[in-house]
């Protein structure tokens, strides 16, 4: 479940214009198991903490086994072949280890170009 997207840098080229499209992908190891595109999000006014967009979107349902890496990505733009380029990725968070540690809310790292708050349910 993608909950909130924060864009701390309002000068990010993806934010030019009144609307924004993002694609949120979930990978198990190298395989995309879920993908959801949110088109034409209204770009809100800049706050002191950057742009904050409420998402509240379920991305998908899939099974994860211990030992698999679960990676959550947010990409700027619509899902086109070039959307897999590294420069389109604004968020990348990888979970490793025991699957039971994946459950619950996940706060973003401050080092991300964008920050995605998400949670994993079972």
Give the confidence band of 44 by pLDDT, cuts at 50, 70, 90: confident
Cα separation, 44 vs 31, in Å, equals 33
Mean pLDDT of 69-94: 80
Give the strand pairing for 51-57 and 104-106: unpaired
Answer yes or no: are the C-beta atoms of 81 and 37 closer than 8 Å: no
Cα separation, 45 vs 60, in Å, equals 30
The beta strands (E) that lie in 1-122 are given as 2-7, 19-28, 31-42, 51-57, 70-76, 89-95, 104-106, 115-120
| Host domain of residue 66 | 2-120
* End-to-end CA, the chain: 11
Mean pLDDT over all residues of the chain?
86
Q: What is the pLDDT of residues 84-113, one digit of tens each?
A: 666 788 899 999 989 999 999 999 988 888
CATH of the domain at 6: 2.60.40
Decide which of 41 and 33 is more confident.
Answer: 33
Instruction: Count up the domains in the chain and report the number.
Output: 1
Cα separation, 106 vs 112, in Å, equals 13
Neighbours of 110 (CB within 10 A): 7
What's residue 49's pLDDT? Answer: 67
Q: What percent of the chain has pLDDT over 90?
A: 43
Decide which of 49 and 25 is more confident.
Answer: 25
Q: Which range (28-37, 43-52, 84-93, 97-106) has the least confidence?
A: 43-52
């Amino acid at each position: 479940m993608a909950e909130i997207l924060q864009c701390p840098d309002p000068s990010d080229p993806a934010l030019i214009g009144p609307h924004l499209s993002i694609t949120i992908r979930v990978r198990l190891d190298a395989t995309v198991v879920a993908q959801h595109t949110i088109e034409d999000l209204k770009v809100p006014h800049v706050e002191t903490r950057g742009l904050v967009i409420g998402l509240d979107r379920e991305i998908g349902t899939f099974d994860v086994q211990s030992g698999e890496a679960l990676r959550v990505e947010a990409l700027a733009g619509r899902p086109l072949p070039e959307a897999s380029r590294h420069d389109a990725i604004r968020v990348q968070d990888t979970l490793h280890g025991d699957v039971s540690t994946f459950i619950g809310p996940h706060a973003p790292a401050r080092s991300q170009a964008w920050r995605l708050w998400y949670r994993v349910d079972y």
